[in-house]
Every structure is written in C-alpha cells, then in structure tokens.
C-alpha cells in the first residue's frame, strides 16, 4: 500500500464548526449595544426636558405668577383756588386746580406697562373734575409715581350746601375713581391687567395732606 507524503487531516467535529446562527449573533451584538446606548441617551434627554418643564411650570405659578399692581393716591395739593374776597366761598365760574400724587406699585418680576390713566374726582357724590395721567412703565418690583392735574369745576362744588361748613372745618371729604390698564409679560406669558380703584379721602385744607384714605380695588385679568 502506497503512503502519501501528505497526511490527511481529520475533519473538525461537527460541534466546533461555525454555524450561521453564530454569525448572526456576532453581527447582532454591536447593533444591540448601539440600540441600548441610544435608548439610554433618549431616556436621559427626556428626563432633563421633563425636569425643565416641571421647573418652568413651578416658576410660572410661584415666582413668575402675575400679581396685581397696586394703585395708591398719596396726596392732593390745591394749586389754585379763587375765593371771594373775605370769604371761604369760591368765585362763581372759576376753577380749582388740584394735583394728585398717584403711585403704581408693581410686585411682579417683569415690568408693567400702562397707557394713559383716567381719574375722576367726586365731592358729595357729584363729579367735580376729571384728569388723565401720562402713560408709563413700572419696573419690576418697583413703584412708579406720577402727578395728575385735576381741573375742578367750581360751580359744581359751590352748588353743594355743605361746602361752607366743610371749608370752615378745615377738612374736605372727596371721592376718587381711578382706572389703570396695562400688561405684564413674564417669559412667554403675557397678561393684560385692568385695575380700578375707588377711594374715599379726607383732605386737610391747611396742610393740603390726606388725613385719612380708604380704598377698594378691583382687578380684572
């Protein structure tokens, strides 16, 4: 029997032979890693966005919540009052000029812009004058002040029988009605605010200062 110079190598056992399923598993391993990594990244981004959304909502309803502006009548100064000589009675047909010191306090973390303000003055239920204040802006958590000039129609005042006794007493009880409308913008939230204020005030004619003031505010958002 002739022996060949090359030995015939035995075949590998069937259990050690690579199969198609092993090839597929080896190829699928990197894909699964990438997919898991992508899912983890998406989960992290989603969690961060959710936390930011929750923080923004909390800030909007707490720190950045739109609060009502506060209007206050700080004082009234009598600039001009024409009286009949030797009396405390205003001259017929003359006008009385008052300057009202009005402040608008803005408690918000954003500026409050408002157009012209309207103020009406009343004496014993009768409207005796009206004034319009200039447009302006109250900065965040600040107070804006303005001087509003009121032209009082003296004939409407002299028609009141109690005027003489009020002037002799040195005090004058007046009523005021003020309207301020504007808007506050915080982040992406814009709120239109309209504040009305009814006040009853007692003015000392000697010191031209307000002795007592009671106000009722009404806010419409």
**pLDDT score of 10:** 56
Last residue of a domain, one of 62, 78, 112: 62
- Residue 44 belongs to a domain: yes
**pLDDT score of 188:** 67
Both 179 and 202 in a single domain? Answer: yes
- Residue 193 belongs to a domain: yes
- Residue 107 belongs to a domain: yes
Both 92 and 201 in a single domain? Answer: yes
- Residue 15 belongs to a domain: no
- Residue 17 belongs to a domain: no
Both 149 and 216 in a single domain? Answer: yes
Both 56 and 128 in a single domain? Answer: no
Both structure tokens of 167 = 């002037």
Both 55 and 75 in a single domain? Answer: no
Both 186 and 216 in a single domain? Answer: yes
R_g over Cα of the chain: 40
Give rounded-to-5 percent helix, strand, coil for the chain: 25, 45, 30
**pLDDT score of 1:** 47
**pLDDT score of 155:** 77
Instruction: Specify which residues 186 forms β-bridges with.
Output: 189
- Residue 14 belongs to a domain: no
Both 207 and 109 in a single domain? Answer: yes
pLDDT < 50 positions in the chain: 1-2
- Phi, psi for residue 135 in degrees, rounded to 5: -70, 155
**pLDDT score of 128:** 87
CA distance 146 to 132: 11
Both 38 and 118 in a single domain? Answer: no
- The b-or-e profile of 152-172 (16+ CB within 10 A means b, else e) is bbbeebbeeeebeebbeeeeb
CA distance 120 to 151: 10
**pLDDT score of 94:** 62
- Residue 136 belongs to a domain: yes
Residues 100 and 80 sit within 8 Å (Cβ to Cβ): no
pTM for this entry: 0.58
Both 42 and 87 in a single domain? Answer: no
Residues with Cβ < 8 Å from 221, sequence gap 6 or more?
66, 191, 192, 193
Domain count, the chain: 2
**What's the domain range around 53?**
33-62
DSSP, collapsed to helix, strand or coil, labels residue 185 as strand
Both 113 and 45 in a single domain? Answer: no
Instruction: Specify which residues 201 forms β-bridges with.
Output: 174, 213
Strand ranges (E), the chain: 70-80, 95-105, 112-114, 117-123, 126-133, 136-138, 143-153, 171-186, 189-204, 209-220
- Residue 27 belongs to a domain: no
Residue-wise DSSP of 164-183: HHHHHHTEEEEEEEEEEEEE
Both 173 and 196 in a single domain? Answer: yes
Q: For position 141, which CATH number holds?
A: 2.60.40.10
């Amino acid at each position: 029997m002739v022996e060949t110079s090359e030995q015939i190598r035995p075949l590998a056992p069937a259990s050690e032979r690579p199969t198609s399923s092993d090839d597929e598993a080896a190829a699928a391993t990197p894909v699964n890693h990438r997919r898991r990594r992508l899912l983890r990244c998406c989960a992290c981004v989603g969690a961060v966005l959710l936390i930011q959304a929750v923080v923004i909502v909390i800030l909007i309803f707490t720190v950045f919540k739109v609060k009502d502006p506060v209007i206050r009548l700080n004082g009234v100064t009598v600039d001009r009052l024409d009286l009949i000589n030797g009396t405390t009675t205003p001259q017929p047909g003359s006008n009385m000029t008052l300057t009202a010191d009005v402040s608008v306090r803005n408690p918000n973390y954003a500026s409050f812009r408002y157009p012209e303000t309207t103020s009406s003055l009343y004496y014993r239920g009768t409207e005796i004058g009206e004034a319009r204040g200039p447009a302006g802006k109250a900065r965040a958590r600040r107070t804006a002040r303005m001087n509003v000039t009121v032209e009082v129609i003296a004939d409407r005042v002299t028609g009141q029988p109690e005027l003489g006794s009020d002037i002799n007493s040195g005090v004058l009880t007046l009523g005021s009605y003020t309207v301020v409308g504007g808007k506050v913008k915080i982040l992406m939230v814009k709120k239109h605010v309209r504040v009305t204020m009814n006040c009853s005030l007692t003015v000392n004619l000697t010191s031209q200062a307000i002795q007592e003031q009671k106000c009722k505010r009404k806010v419409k958002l």
